Structure 1
Amino acid sequence: MMIGRRSYNVFIIMSTKLIFLVAAASLAQGDNDGYICSRATYYGSPDCIGNPYGACGYGEYGRTVYNGEVSGVSRLYKNGSGCGACYQVRCKIPTHCSEEGTKIVVTDYGEGHETDFILSARAYSNLALPNLAPQLLAYGVIDVEYKRVPCTYASNLVIKVHHHSHFPTYFAILPIYQAGTYDITDVQLWLVCTSLNSLPVMLDAVSNLVITFDFKRDFDHFVEYCKEWRGMRRVYGTVWDMENPPIGMPINMRFQLVSGGAANANAEVKWLQIANVIPTDWKAGVAYDTGFQL
């Protein structure tokens, strides 16, 4: 009987420690519904919505998307691939905070004291129960929990040609209305050499292989040689660029999509290829509908 009692007592002590450890882990990681604990603050703006000069490069779109419920992030920025991601955020003051919280989209980079989110004033206020936004704003910094959720838009994925682009020699773009939970981690263009304008680039690329060039004899060889997907450069945020883009034809593009971010060990990686998404005579500042939703 004594042996049995001692075993029973040890079991209870170990179980108590186990319950304590599980509870502690739950507090650190959030509730069982996938939320992660963090902190949030807000920034001021004249109209309480977004910043058109945000680090993601969205411009006016970044000010008004999701009705101005936007946020700057630091850790979740992920060198720009976190731009356009959506999160459900809810605060943890029962007397002031709504149970649902609010849904925001990342449009900027920002660092605060132990915060993952620097929300627009509108987004921050929408964390509160009815008529309690002023009291919540007075806190300045609050405990929150968040999780990644799909972005939803009535629009398809749209590719906007950046206003600093210069036809036909410099091509910069930014994807907008990025639905779902995918991060865009790579953008590539399909290159085919079809004109003499491409010839210097081709000759430079293979100068170690060809000494003389006979146009009639060798042009087909060069065209076949330079058919390839070539990566664009991430300039900053969600802005991608390429010098000497394809000319004389519509531009085919493909996007590498990673579900939930590259840091997720179980992330799904896939390519979305879209033909003729940008017309031959593209123009800076114009947005082109891809016809696809992520």
Structure 2
Amino acid sequence: MEGSTKCGFLGYLFLLLVLLPVMCYSQDNFVYSRATYYGSPDCYGTPSGACGFGEFGRTVNDGNVAAVSYLYRNGSGCGACYQVRCTNPKYCSGSGAIVVVTDHGEGDYTDFILSPRAYAKMAHPNTALQLFSYGVVDVEFRRVSCQYPYYSTLKFKVHEHSRFPDYLAILIIYVAGKNDITAVELWQEDCKEWKGMRRSHGAVWDMANPPKDNIKLRFQVSGSMGYGNWVVANNALPNYWKPGVAYDTDINLY
């Protein structure tokens, strides 16, 4: 009986050690970390972020954006939204800032490098300057649903580097909810099969020699919509797609 009790306790301890990281990194619970900010002449984001968002990455979410380290997840973390709040009660508000991931970067043991606008938003009114003087602050964060009031469906843009008709790259923007786009495929009509696009970098997916007719796309979604689910955009790219043009899908991720 004693041996059985000891084995049961060791089994419980092992299970606790396995589950503890999952519990600590639950999307509903705050995780402790550190954050800093980067220089910006206008306090907005940077158009040269690793996610490939360009000018969209500078102004999305009113410039409340961030570069992240391990949360970048080889680009699948691009476009994710987080609530980040610093923990010094003298200078920090309880709500903190909601930021969109637009870049990859590592600081002084930090998970977040915030735009100046986002960093200031963590502060109580009239205490932002004192908060900036710290440079690096202790924070807690959690993933939250991305909310885009004017864009209820998934949207993507034909990347400026695309060359009709030989090379197609798309940039995925406005991913609502707590969802990641983990794969993109095009329908190959002549072969009657889906053909995978390559993640070029960040939120940019590309393919050489894409289909010549209307292009139907489908996206693999993981997150609040489920894990590994495929959703099809019924409204395809037109025959003569153009670089720089954005397209709405009929895919609602809320």
Same fold (TM over 0.5): yes
1:106-155 Cα offsets, whole Å, 9 max, x none, are: 00000011110000000000000000000000000000000010001121
Matched, 1:242 2:207: yes
Matched, 1:179 2:176: yes
CA distance in 1, matches of 2:232, 2:26: 38
CA distance in 2, matches of 1:61, 1:140: 26
Matched, 1:113 2:108: yes
Partner of 1:164: 161
CA distance in 1, matches of 2:138, 2:125: 19
Higher share of residues assigned helix: 1
CA distance in 2, matches of 1:30, 1:73: 16
Contact 1:148 1:260 in 2 (8 A): no
* Structure 1 residue identity aligned to 2:182: T
Indicate the structure (1 or 2) with the bigger Cα radius of gyration.
1
CA distance in 1, matches of 2:84, 2:36: 12
TM-fit CA distance, 1:277: 2.7
Identity of aligned residues (%): 58
Contact 2:177 2:224 in 1 (8 A): no
Partner of 1:151: 146
The 3 A distance-change label for structure 1 pair 31 and 95 is farther
* Structure 1 residue identity aligned to 2:209: N
CA distance in 2, matches of 1:192, 1:148: 38
Structure 1 SS opposite 2:59: helix
TM-score by length of 2: 0.87
CA distance in 1, matches of 2:174, 2:224: 17
**Residue among 217, 230, 236 paired with 2:195:** 230
Contact 1:30 1:145 in 2 (8 A): no
TM-score by length of 1: 0.75
Structure 1 SS opposite 2:45: coil
Segments of structure 1 that go 5 or more residues without pairing to the other structure are: 1-24, 194-225, 262-266
Q: Describe how 1:205-220 pairs up with structure 2 within 5 A.
A: none
Structure 1 SS opposite 2:242: coil
Partner of 2:124: 129
Contact 2:82 2:99 in 1 (8 A): yes
CA distance in 1, matches of 2:224, 2:35: 21
Partner of 2:82: 87
TM-fit CA distance, 1:33: 5.7
Partner of 2:251: 292
CA distance in 1, matches of 2:30, 2:110: 15
Give the length in aligned residue pairs: 232
Partner of 2:31: 36
Contact 1:30 1:37 in 2 (8 A): no
CA distance in 2, matches of 1:97, 1:43: 19
**Residue among 226, 229, 233 paired with 1:270:** 229
Segments of structure 2 that go 5 or more residues without pairing to the other structure are: 1-19
**Residue among 52, 60, 63 paired with 2:55:** 60
Structure 2 SS opposite 1:268: strand
1:163-211 Cα offsets, whole Å, 9 max, x none, are: 0101111000011111111111100000012xxxxxxxxxxxxxxxxxx
Contact 2:27 2:142 in 1 (8 A): no
Two-structure CA RMSD over aligned residues (Å): 2.2
The 3 A distance-change label for structure 1 pair 122 and 243 is same
CA distance in 2, matches of 1:132, 1:31: 31
CA distance in 2, matches of 1:48, 1:282: 34
1:8-34 Cα offsets, whole Å, 9 max, x none, are: xxxxxxxxxxxxxxxxx89x9489961
Contact 1:72 1:118 in 2 (8 A): yes
Q: Stretches of 4+ moved more than 3 A in 1? A: 28-33
CA distance in 1, matches of 2:53, 2:111: 20
CA distance in 2, matches of 1:293, 1:122: 29
Contact 2:231 2:251 in 1 (8 A): no
CA distance in 2, matches of 1:31, 1:276: 35
CA distance in 2, matches of 1:30, 1:82: 15
* Structure 1 residue identity aligned to 2:236: V
TM-fit CA distance, 1:260: 6.6
CA distance in 1, matches of 2:27, 2:156: 37
